[in-house]
Chains A and B, each alone.
Chain A
């Protein structure tokens, strides 16, 4: 079956540090890949997405590249801010299920200190 594996957190960084959150996936079809962010006490917000191999999703300084050869979709940001502190979820949606169901990773908590 389909699955998503994320690095365990928390990830603790100082402001302006470089961020990488690793995400790898297993899928039987041709998935779309997503990063969602959840701020404390809130629902999930779509951060970025990529729908095919070699696509790069980007938003608010975050980037992730769909790497089919390594089945990865790592999230990166060059300089994090305190306001980036949140939980980040990697997810996939598989074409063979009509692009409907999202499969989430366990989430990675990011803590950024001033």
Chain B
């Protein structure tokens, strides 16, 4: 299967600072990537859909000015949590859409655990 990486895997920051999380598709090009948030023992909540070369599409209730998404290339999308607060602490997971050969499957990164003090 395809490989998606995330960096960093863990980050601890002070309240009010900004944190950037990178998502990379390592062996395929992904025109579409997705950002999810997962709370403890809960399912994944889609935050936004990131399309290469265009603005991200945010789900209802997700603040686009707080969660900045940039899909700079076909293999890289970044999520920046601006002015982070303790309630932003969560597990953030990205996925990349692999549409090669008509398969259309999302492959997920290993996740980034953000802790805001």
Partners in one complex: yes
Q: Which residues of A contact B (CB under 8 A)?
A: 32, 34, 36, 41-46, 49, 89, 93, 99-102, 104-107, 109
Q: Which of B41, B49, B108 is within 8 Å of A43, CB to CB?
A: B108
Whole-angstrom CA separation of A109 from B106 in the bound complex: 22
List the B side residues contacting A36 at CB < 8 Å.
Answer: 108
A-B contact pairs, 22 of them (CB 8 A): A32-B104, A36-B108, A42-B110, A42-B111, A43-B93, A43-B111, A44-B93, A44-B95, A44-B108, A45-B108, A46-B107, A46-B108, A93-B104, A99-B104, A100-B32, A102-B46, A102-B95, A102-B106, A104-B43, A106-B43, A107-B42, A109-B41
Q: How far is A105 from B110 in the complex, measured between Cα atoms in Å?
A: 19
Whether, in the assembled complex, B117 has its beta carbon less than 8 Å from a beta carbon of chain A, the answer is no
Contacts A32-B104, A102-B46 known; A46 to B1 CB distance under 8 Å?
yes
B6 CB–A CB distance under 8 Å: yes
Q: With a CB–CB cut-off of 8 A, which chain B residues contact A93?
A: 104, 106
| Residue from A32, A45, A101 with most neighbouring chain B CB atoms (10 Å) | A101
Q: How many residues of B contact A (CB 8 A)?
A: 21
Partner of A49, one of B32, B42, B105, B110: B105
B43 touches A100 (CB 8 A): no
- In the bound complex, how far is the Cα of B95 from the Cα of A107, in angstroms? 18
Give chain A residues whose Cβ lies under 8 Å from the Cβ of B105: 34, 46, 49
B90-112 interface code vs A (CB 8 A; 1 in, 0 out)? 00010101000000111111110
A39 to chain B, nearest CB (A): 10
A10 vs chain B, min Cβ distance (A)? 10
